[in-house]
Structure 1
Amino acid sequence: MMSPKTRSRIMMISTHGYVSPEPEFGKPDTGGQVVFVLELSKCLARMGYEVDILTRQFESQEAEEIVNDRVRVLRFPCGGDDFIPKETLCESIPEWVANASDYIEENGLKYSFINSHYWDAGLAGQALANTMEIPHLHTPHSIGAWKRDNMDGEAAALEKKYNFNERIREEKVIYDECDWVIATTPTQRDILKESAYDTPASKILVIPPGYDDRRFFPVSVATRSALKNELGLEGKIVLALGRIANNKGYDLLIRSMPPVFQRVKDARLLLAIGSTDPSDSEVEQVAGFRKLAEELGIADRVIFGDYIPDDQLADYYRAADVFALSSRYEPFGMTAVEAMACGTPTVITTEGGLWEQVTWGLESLYANPFDPEAFGHAIASVLSHREVSSQLAKYGSQKARARFTWTGIAQQILKHLHSQADTPAPDRPAEENLAEAFEVEAI
């Protein structure tokens, strides 16, 4: 429990996308990171803290929304009223910081620490941490140098779209100045240490994302069958879901399906990649996926589903026979963890961080999605062999519960801060003692 002197309010910053108590998944730049921030905030609130999630205000959004009695979303404008992509939002961050600072000062708010998410928020978080003289933990989610080096395409075009040069330069500054960087995987830790960033190992914490074990859990075989009928799904279902983006590798998954369909006659691929308000680019990408399925002669076995509402997500995982994560690059892979938690066998990409944290053949199968035959045969093996499917379902769900719950994630963060409370934070003068900003007793 916290001592009476504790400043029991925590600041989360996630500036881009549509951050709200009920996120509009499918909207641009709105996906796993929003879930991460919301769920971690709610978990910290259950531990006795009050949490403010600071984000950008645009499109006539409300300045404040209540998530629950201890968590709220605070929005501050910058850069006008239109949506701004995360790649270029950095240009408006100084205005955002000024508006947020004015609100914090006017309302006399005090915070124990700041946890910023993605590099645009990292810029904001470090500016506020410097002013408020409190610890700043930064969670990159993805890392610019790694993303740049793992993307297909012509360098100039990628730079124009993703602003890599400025991103990597600013990331370096954030990692140098913040107190700690939270890597979600050992691979991310190594990239931070050894690539363009040279981040000291002492500043890097390896803490994976979490999932809500009150929502995602296994059910009986009979219940799974009933859910499949209720959702109108027939045959062996291979499920993939998420926002529409090139890095998600849906085209690679489609190319992987012919060997699956050859080996498993009643198999179907469900791509739940719709959007509530698709952009022209998203419409074009889905049209390309449909054309690819037609060219491969498998269009009749590929189901293009709509966006899955959050309250139905767990049931879709449970109704599937295998979940496929086929990303070209994936810092972690939260959807695969949620599927594992629901007792659904998973086949995951080796172009990311999650595969190194599971045991192949026991908790999951993994393969390179750039090798369609290999990825497809991994899926087919799950669908063809009941023993394999049952083993992955059992031990995958156990791994998820043991390693990836939000409670465990929150406890790791707080435990680290508590352990440092009597020690100066890295790269801070001795007089800036964390105990002054963060006084907690063991949880």
Structure 2
Amino acid sequence: MLEESKTIISKDDSYTTQGRERGRIAMISTHGYVAAEPPLGMPDTGGQVVFVIELSKMLAELGYVVDIWTRQFDDQPEREKVAENVEIRRVPCGGPDFIPKEYLYKSLTEYTSKAKKIIAEENISYDFINSHYWDAGLVGQSLSQHLETPHVHTPHSIGSWKRKQMEEDFPEDKAAFEKTYNFTERIRNEQAIYRECDTLVATTPIQVDLFESDYDISSKKIVMIPPGYDDSRFYPVSAASREVIRDHMGFSGKQVVTSIGRLSRNKGFDLLVDAFAVAAERNPNAYLFMALGTETDETTEDPMLEEIVAKVKDHGIEDRVTIGSSLPDDAMADFYRASDVFCLPSRYEPFGMTAVEAMACGTPTVVTTNGGLYRTLVYGSEALYADSFDPHDFGLSIAKILKFKNLSDRLSDKGAHKARSLFTWSGIAQQLINAVHASKAPKLSFV
């Protein structure tokens, strides 16, 4: 069993709690399966849920009590402890069943009313509220006004950008996109939330540009804070340890290209199959392993899986492609470490947390240019990036890493260093606190 490294957080005087009561933060993330150990791959449950959980734990390490407010459904418990001074608070609304995030807003008036009652009964006060995605933003803004507490909103993705990209690339599906993603309602609410919140958090430079151009938000309100990763879990291991992991996963003697995520049109796994076919033609020892989360209440994802399987057969690479189910969270780090190349092939991706985790584990990574992460990376040194709408371009990028060991070694070393220097949760948490402090909003008691 691998020995995990330990994260050591350096606290200066501004973050100590000597002789003072801890501050309190409300994190709001209403959709999906928010849990201490989130079931990744379930509908609307992925990078954002991990972001909220990990950021909350690190804020607690910095001296805060953190309440994570989410929706209660599927017989989930009302309260769940995540870590010391971090607790999930679930409030029911809209019935007992799962509701897709695009239509959850219809039930949020009920949610907010119940949350206000709980907060009043328990006499809770917050230093600030941090909401995530536009559904939670509606709740966060209402609670902020009611409690006279600063509201920091983190959108994670932006409706105007996603709608524009999808309609440009698939104009014949415009009506279907509107029905599925509810873009008109989403963008209308995003506009109001972005203007009314106290601080707007962009996770990439692209988002900063879009807030200003598409929503006419002043740059004075915007702060850029990238997502983080848990550096006590995701880190490189020795060559000997890596070979043990590869043998356990059945990767020995192969050059394995991997990807992981929820099966969704915007994730680009069908394009990755096309790209891998390009790489496989040049490398007879290349194999593709995709871990796809397909558990959902909807049936619309079934045709996507059928399409991917059909593509594999059309390329004649059935014996070189494995499509597995989503991995448990505790298997993720070894999955990255065992890979020779990790791919983020998304058509649309606000950031790409799995790519950062892979880089942190020392895995050479190819990311999409249809997202925000690539603008923070040095091409050829920290990662390669390619257009996921161009399978030939993406496939050649994969093939180069598999062929040239010097390139692979450089990406492994420099990519891991970049992840450690820019994306650890301790740094992200302190950036958030600094952003609230810089806004000079009232009622802040820093610990």
TM-score (norm 2): 0.93
2:445 maps to 1:439: yes
1:253 maps to 272
Count of matched residue pairs: 427
Correspondences of 1:10-409 after superposition (within 5 Å): 10-151=25-166, 152-153=169-170, 154-195=173-214, 197-234=215-252, 235-276=254-295, 279-409=298-428
Q: Distance in 1 between matches of 2:396 and 2:162?
A: 27
Question: What secondary structure sits across from 2:89 in the alignment?
Answer: strand
Question: What secondary structure sits across from 2:347 in the alignment?
Answer: coil
Q: Distance in 2 between matches of 1:23 and 1:296?
A: 35
1:156–1:4: structure 2 CA closer, same or farther, 3 Å change rule? farther
CA-based RMSD: 1.3
Unaligned residue ranges in structure 1 (runs of 5+): 426-433
Percent of paired sites with the same residue = 52
* 1:3 CA drift (Å): 7.2
Unaligned residue ranges in structure 2 (runs of 5+): 1-15
* 1:331 CA drift (Å): 0.2
The 8 Å contact of residues 287 and 320 in structure 2, kept in 1 or not, is answered as yes
The 8 Å contact of residues 23 and 446 in structure 2, kept in 1 or not, is answered as no
Q: Distance in 1 between matches of 2:278 and 2:249?
A: 26
Q: Distance in 1 between matches of 2:341 and 2:311?
A: 22
* 1:335 CA drift (Å): 0.2
Deviations 1:68-110 (A, max 9, x none): 2211100001111111000000111111000111100001111
Q: Distance in 2 between matches of 1:43 and 1:277?
A: 30
Aligned residue identity for 2:370: E
* 1:289 CA drift (Å): 0.7
Deviations 1:249-277 (A, max 9, x none): 00010011122112111100101103456
The 8 Å contact of residues 139 and 183 in structure 1, kept in 2 or not, is answered as yes
* 1:55 CA drift (Å): 0.3
TM-score (norm 1): 0.94
Deviations 1:110-157 (A, max 9, x none): 111000000000000000000000100000000000010111432211
* 1:236 CA drift (Å): 0.5
Q: Distance in 2 between matches of 1:164 and 1:244?
A: 20
1:199–1:7: structure 2 CA closer, same or farther, 3 Å change rule? farther
Question: What secondary structure sits across from 2:144 in the alignment?
Answer: helix
Where do 4+ consecutive residues of structure 1 move more than 3 Å? 2-7, 274-279
The 8 Å contact of residues 40 and 293 in structure 2, kept in 1 or not, is answered as no
* 1:281 CA drift (Å): 2.6
